[in-house]
């Protein structure tokens, strides 16, 4: 037996119980048969795995916390906007390494629907790149180059739906019942109407309702998102088998992080909102077991942009801990960051984040300020009540503030998915435009530009210092503002998320080394954060985080304590007035005077914070850097 085969068997032994228990919950009596089919696939895909990827498997089996390390810094970009295509992205690797990024989320990587395709999220082929972007061998070359530059690839795995021109949909239309059963189709509107009674709408204006009449088949098709995105029928075990196979093939391409798009929506249950059903977690757990058996170098990221009470479940926190996704977007921290920026107060954030259950110590977050989607103001009513504010009122305030409709707001957000029925409104816009940088530039007001840039720096310093992989959204490294031309483009105007999906700005890149420019200032802010983060092992994702009341409502304070790597206390002054706090109130293990501010190492008077200033207080001891293990090709396997 080869070593690889032995390793496979040990992993199978380790993970089979997880797989079986997830499948039992999903498919009952059919589970054993589904399990056998899945294991055959696991074996086949494992046999096809390259030696390079097997080396990656070994490395990460020894170092399973690779994605939790303080070294990790992420960047998210569209293939076409960033590089024009796969080769163009390869040419931009130097940009990423210069910035200091080692995780790259490439949006719209795989072939999407011809015509409108929801920014690449209506996938026509799960495994081939879009012809316009390059060939499969261009993709291989790109992934090899990324791994060679020590950059981990995160790719979208759109498992709630396919596009209506995916091969499976074409077969379904041509009459194949096997393929029709992969989707959710109804002959009459009775069932759709029964579901609609409790279903919300994700895009109430662009795509009202959750079902679309498919005239070729004379059937209603479940379409949660757009009318051309056909929801998969996860209650059918064939969907599990097909999708698990795709997962392992993506892993064999060299994808390091599989982003489970819209995972919360996968399981439907009559009488519910069909989100966050227990089975959605079982699906993620089954996929986790599959990748852990056949391709342990690959981990799962939950894209579950849900309320705080539902969030931590995707990291496996249930009545008992389950092995589920390794990573999840921390949308609650993101929302609370913007909320603190708007109010200048921290009570709600502290209350809401403290009420969040601690994730399992083997997992961590994707922390971010902006992403390619809109911001949903996920303020929980109970959290708001505990903080003494009204949930509905605060959500309405945030929508108005970031739309620029509130006295004193310099925000240039664009309202999205306004739903008069539910009083809900989400917000689009680039970081710089939401935070007031764009308005200040337009006004030519140098003082306001300083303030607005300090606000952006504050949000990024929270995302970088909180713990989790901080994600930079393309354009933010230059302080790029909204792309208003998108609103005039007839193909894009209906979906105002396009205002925050601009093209890479080469002129701004040239300006990055000029400290007199917005680009130069944002670049140096991020460079400082990246270096500080890498010097601070306490930012390892396993450390629990607590949120502390320091007796000044304008100061957001968090503390991470890692049993081996020490402690980090973050302090962010979200207000515009300087503030002095009592560091002793933090109740730290080490006397405050022995600390150093990692964001400004020569600073003294650490108890005072200027407007929007952030400090990361750590013990001044220096940590030994870990040398590469002899004989290990670090470039291929990741680094400490």
Q: How many residues bind ligand GLC (CB under 6 A)?
A: 14
State which residue, 122 or 552, has the beta carbon closest to ligand GLC.
122
Contact 583, 554 (CB under 8 A): no
State which residue, 156 or 214, has the beta carbon closest to ligand GLC.
156
Residue 232 tokens, joined: 């998969």
Residue with tokens 């944002």: 522
Identified binder of ligand GLC from the candidate list 80, 231, 303, 424, rule CB under 6 A: 303
Least CB distance to ligand GLC at residue 197 (A): 20
State which residue, 83 or 376, has the beta carbon closest to ligand GLC.
376
The CA distance from 84 to 97, in Å, is 19
The CA distance from 279 to 268, in Å, is 9
- Interface with ligand GLC, residue 261, by CB under 6 A: yes
Residue 515 tokens, joined: 């400290």
Binding segment for ligand GLC (CB under 6 A), chosen from 65-73, 118-126, 183-191, 484-492, is: 118-126
State which residue, 121 or 556, has the beta carbon closest to ligand GLC.
121
Least CB distance to ligand GLC at residue 202 (A): 5
Residues 304-333 that bind ligand GLC (CB under 6 A): 305
The CA distance from 38 to 236, in Å, is 14
- Interface with ligand GLC, residue 118, by CB under 6 A: yes
Least CB distance to ligand GLC at residue 416 (A): 7
Closest CA to 121 of 161, 85, 153: 161
Identified binder of ligand GLC from the candidate list 130, 231, 256, 373, rule CB under 6 A: 373
Identified binder of ligand GLC from the candidate list 19, 38, 184, 262, rule CB under 6 A: 262
Give me the helix-helix angle, 3-27 and 51-62, nearest 10°: 70
The CA distance from 484 to 90, in Å, is 28
Give the distance from CA 625 to its chain's centroid: 29
- Interface with ligand GLC, residue 202, by CB under 6 A: yes
- Interface with ligand GLC, residue 57, by CB under 6 A: no
Phi and psi torsions of 579, nearest 5°: -145, 145
State which residue, 27 or 121, has the beta carbon closest to ligand GLC.
121
Residue 334 tokens, joined: 């993101």
A 10 A CB-CB count for 217 gives 16
Least CB distance to ligand GLC at residue 122 (A): 7
What 3 state SS string does 18-34 have?
A: HHHHHHHHHHHHHHHHH
Give the distance from CA 110 to its chain's centroid: 18
Q: How far is CA 25 from CA 279, 288, 427, 622, in A?
A: 7, 15, 37, 49
State which residue, 373 or 567, has the beta carbon closest to ligand GLC.
373
**CB closest to ligand GLC, residue no:** 121
Residues 216-245 that bind ligand GLC (CB under 6 A): 225
State which residue, 143 or 158, has the beta carbon closest to ligand GLC.
158
**Active-site entry in 18, 164, 261, 424:** 261
**Active-site entry in 303, 425, 511, 597:** 303
Site string for ligand GLC, 588-627 (x = CB under 6 A): ----------------------------------------
Least CB distance to ligand GLC at residue 182 (A): 17
Q: What is the DSSP secondary-structure string of 519-535?
A: HHHHHHHHHHHHHHHHT
Identified binder of ligand GLC from the candidate list 296, 376, 429, 465, rule CB under 6 A: 376
The CA distance from 257 to 317, in Å, is 20
Strand partners, 469: 366
Residue 488 tokens, joined: 């005039």
Contact 93, 75 (CB under 8 A): no
Contact 262, 229 (CB under 8 A): no
For residue 437, give every residue at least 6 positions away whose Cβ sits within 8 Å of its Cβ, in sequence order, or none. Answer: 431, 449, 452, 453, 456, 479, 481, 518
Binding segment for ligand GLC (CB under 6 A), chosen from 116-124, 168-176, 189-197, 379-387, is: 116-124
Least CB distance to ligand GLC at residue 107 (A): 8
State which residue, 303 or 345, has the beta carbon closest to ligand GLC.
303
Binding segment for ligand GLC (CB under 6 A), chosen from 239-247, 250-258, 370-378, 546-554, is: 370-378
Binding segment for ligand GLC (CB under 6 A), chosen from 97-105, 113-121, 532-540, 630-638, is: 113-121
Closest CA to 265 of 330, 200, 336: 200
Identified binder of ligand GLC from the candidate list 214, 227, 374, 597, rule CB under 6 A: 374
- Interface with ligand GLC, residue 80, by CB under 6 A: no
The CA distance from 525 to 454, in Å, is 9
Identified binder of ligand GLC from the candidate list 59, 121, 220, 523, rule CB under 6 A: 121
Give yes or no: 507 in active site: no
Residues 475-504 that bind ligand GLC (CB under 6 A): none
A 10 A CB-CB count for 590 gives 15
Identified binder of ligand GLC from the candidate list 42, 106, 154, 158, rule CB under 6 A: 158
Residue 582 tokens, joined: 């009592």
State which residue, 210 or 613, has the beta carbon closest to ligand GLC.
210
Contact 516, 446 (CB under 8 A): no
Residue with tokens 């790029």: 480
Binding segment for ligand GLC (CB under 6 A), chosen from 170-178, 215-223, 372-380, 435-443, is: 372-380
Least CB distance to ligand GLC at residue 120 (A): 8
State which residue, 275 or 431, has the beta carbon closest to ligand GLC.
275
Residues 7-26 that bind ligand GLC (CB under 6 A): none
For residue 449, give every residue at least 6 positions away whose Cβ sits within 8 Å of its Cβ, in sequence order, or none. Answer: 437, 440, 441, 518
- Interface with ligand GLC, residue 146, by CB under 6 A: no
State which residue, 79 or 453, has the beta carbon closest to ligand GLC.
79
Three-state DSSP state, 230: strand
Contact 20, 280 (CB under 8 A): no
Contact 518, 478 (CB under 8 A): yes
Identified binder of ligand GLC from the candidate list 84, 88, 100, 119, rule CB under 6 A: 119
| Strand-pair category, 327-329 with 299-302 | parallel
Residue with tokens 């435009």: 433
Least CB distance to ligand GLC at residue 423 (A): 16
Give yes or no: 324 in active site: no
Give me the active site residues, please: 261, 303
Q: Given the rule CB under 6 A, which residues bind ligand GLC?
A: 118-119, 121, 158, 202, 225, 261-262, 303, 305, 372-374, 376
């Amino acid at each position: 037996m080869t070593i690889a085969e032995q390793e496979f068997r040990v992993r199978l032994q380790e993970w089979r119980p997880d797989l079986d228990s997830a499948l039992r919950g999903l498919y009952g009596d059919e589970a054993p048969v589904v399990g056998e089919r899945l294991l055959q696939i696991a074996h086949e895909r494992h046999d096809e795995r390259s030696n390079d990827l097997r080396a990656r498997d070994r490395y990460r089996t020894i170092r399973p916390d690779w994605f939790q390390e303080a070294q990790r810094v992420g960047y998210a970009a569209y293939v076409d906007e960033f590089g024009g295509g796969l080769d163009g992205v390869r040419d931009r690797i130097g940009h990423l390494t210069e910035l200091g990024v080692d995780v790259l989320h490439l949006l719209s990587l795989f072939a999407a629907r011809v015509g409108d395709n929801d920014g690449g999220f209506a996938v026509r082929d799960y495994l081939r790149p879009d012809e316009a972007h390059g060939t499969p061998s261009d993709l291989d070359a790109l992934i090899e180059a990324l791994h060679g530059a020590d950059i981990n690839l995160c790719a979208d795995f759109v498992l709630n739906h396919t596009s209506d021109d995916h091969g499976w949909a074409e077969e379904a239309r041509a009459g194949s019942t096997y393929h029709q059963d992969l989707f959710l189709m109804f002959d009459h509107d009775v069932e759709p109407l029964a579901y609609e009674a409790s279903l919300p709408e994700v895009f109430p204006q662009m795509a009202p309702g959750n079902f679309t009449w498919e005239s070729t088949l004379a059937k209603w098709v479940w379409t949660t998102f757009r009318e051309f995105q056909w929801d998969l029928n996860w209650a059918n075990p064939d969907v599990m088998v097909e999708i698990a196979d795709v997962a392992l093939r993506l892993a064999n391409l060299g994808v390091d992080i599989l982003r489970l798009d819209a995972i919360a929506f996968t399981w439907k249950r009559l009488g519910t909102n069909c989100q966050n059903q227990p089975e959605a977690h079982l699906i993620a757990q089954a996929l986790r077991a599959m990748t852990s058996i056949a391709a342990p170098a690959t981990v799962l990221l939950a894209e579950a942009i849900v309320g705080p009470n539902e969030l931590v479940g995707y990291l496996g926190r249930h009545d008992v801990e389950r092995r589920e996704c390794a990573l999840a977007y921390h949308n609650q921290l993101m929302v609370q960051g913007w909320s603190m920026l708007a109010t200048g107060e921290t009570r709600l954030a502290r209350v809401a984040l403290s009420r969040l259950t601690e994730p399992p110590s083997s997992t961590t977050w994707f922390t971010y300020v902006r992403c390619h989607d809109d911001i949903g103001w996920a303020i929980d009513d109970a959290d708001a009540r505990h903080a003494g504010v009204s949930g509905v009122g605060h959500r309405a305030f945030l929508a108005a503030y970031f739309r620029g409709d509130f006295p004193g707001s310099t925000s240039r957000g664009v309202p999205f998915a306004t739903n008069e029925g539910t009083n809900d409104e989400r917000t689009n816009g680039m970081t710089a435009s939401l935070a007031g940088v764009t308005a200040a530039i337009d006004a030519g007001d140098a003082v306001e530009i300083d303030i607005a840039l300090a606000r952006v720096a504050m949000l990024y310093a929270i995302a970088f210092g909180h713990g989790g992989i901080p994600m930079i959204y393309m354009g933010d490294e230059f302080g790029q503002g909204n792309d208003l031309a998108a609103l005039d483009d007839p193909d894009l105007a209906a979906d105002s998320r396009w205002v925050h999906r601009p093209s890479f700005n080469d002129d701004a890149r040239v300006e990055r080394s000029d400290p007199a420019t917005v680009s130069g200032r944002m670049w140096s802010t991020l460079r400082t954060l990246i270096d500080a983060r890498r010097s601070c092992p306490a930012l390892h994702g396993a450390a629990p985080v607590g949120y502390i009341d320091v007796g000044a409502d304008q100061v957001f304070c968090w503390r991470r304590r890692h049993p081996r790597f020490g402690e980090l206390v973050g302090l962010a002054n979200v207000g515009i007035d300087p503030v002095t706090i009592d560091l002793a109130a933090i109740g730290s293990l080490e006397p405050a005077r022995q600390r150093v501010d990692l964001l400004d190492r020569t600073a003294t008077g650490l108890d005072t914070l200027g407007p929007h200033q952030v400090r990361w207080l750590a013990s001044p001891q220096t940590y030994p850097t870990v040398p590469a293990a002899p004989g290990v090709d670090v470039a291929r396997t990741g680094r400490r």
